[in-house]
Amino acid sequence: MGKQLKSTHQLIKEAVIDSGEGSILYPNQFAPCGDSTAIRQVLSRMTKEGYLVRLAHGLYYYPKVDTKWGTGIIYPSIEEVARIIEERDKITLIPSGTYVLNKLGLSTQIPMNVVYITNGSPRTIKLGKGRGIQLKRSNDMNNFAYTSELVRMLVFALREIGQGNLTEVHKSILKKHLRSISEEEYKRDIHLAPQWIQDELNRLREQ
């Protein structure tokens, strides 16, 4: 048993090194290295040894360290973690709320907890240092039907701001984003938005 565990340990360690510093990892990636119990034991052991950092349940990080300024471990962004969760769980995650406003330049607030709309199971993933990801399930398939990520972000931004709450600053920023969307992209996706958002974006696009 010990020999088998050691062999699994070596295989996983080599796979981790090959993945490169800054990689986010999960147990299923190491399926060729051994059975699931052995893999979990090895990952737990490597975490205790400080070789890996446990980001959340079932998520590990091969740390990248800041050697230039000596600030320690450079943790992955919430966006990077979300992409790995999508890959691992085979689901779709769509950023929403304050996070979208910040990404579009509509707010300077940087949320520590990001809300994602998902077609998977709802849950909260704590990432430490006050950061987290909240997954909210949506059965509205229109949310997942957009072909333009920017159009979807604009729609979600208006939902967050609310009907009748757009400021002149908001409108100016939204118009800049709208100008970067081709007519074909816009027409393909705009019908997926709630009617009041369609009306608002159409007005801004025509100005």
Q: Output the six-digit token pair for 3.
A: 């020999």
CATH 1.10.10.10 residue spans of the chain = 2-66
Q: Give the bridge partners for 25, in sequence order.
A: 60
- When pLDDT is cut at 50, 70 and 90, the band that residue 67 belongs to is confident
pLDDT of residue 6: 64
- Residues, the chain: 207
Q: Give the bridge partners for 124, in sequence order.
A: 134
Q: What is the pLDDT of residues 133-192, one digit of tens each?
A: 999 999 999 999 999 999 999 999 999 999 999 999 999 999 999 999 999 999 999 999
Question: In terms of CATH architecture, what is 2-66?
Answer: Orthogonal Bundle (1.10)
CA 83 – CA 91 distance, rounded (Å): 10
pTM of the full structure: 0.85
